[in-house]
Structure 1
Amino acid sequence: MKLYYSPGACSLSPHIVLREAGLAFEPVLASTKTHQLQDGTDYYGINPLGYVPLLELDDGTRLREGPAIVQYIADQVPTKNLVPANGTLPRYRLQEWLTFIGTEIHKSFSPLFNPAMPEEGKQIYRERLASRLQWVDGQLADKPYLMGENFSVADAYLFTVSNWAAPMKIDLSGLKNLLAFRERMAARPAVQEAMKAEGLLK
Structure 2
Amino acid sequence: MAETLMLGGFKLNSTAVKVTFRNTGVQEDPACGPLIDAVAIKELFPPMPTRDNLVKNYGFEEGPHRLVNTSNGVLLPPRQEDLTSPLPGWMIESLKAVKFIDKKHFNVPFGLAAVELVAGRESAIAQILRTIPGKVYGLTFTIGDARNGCHGSMMVEAFAAKDTFKVPFESKGKGGFKTVSFKFKAITARTRITFYSSYYHTSIDDFGSLCGPILDEVRVFPTA
Larger radius of gyration: 2
Which structure features the higher share of strand residues? 2
**TM-score, length-normalised on structure 2?**
0.29
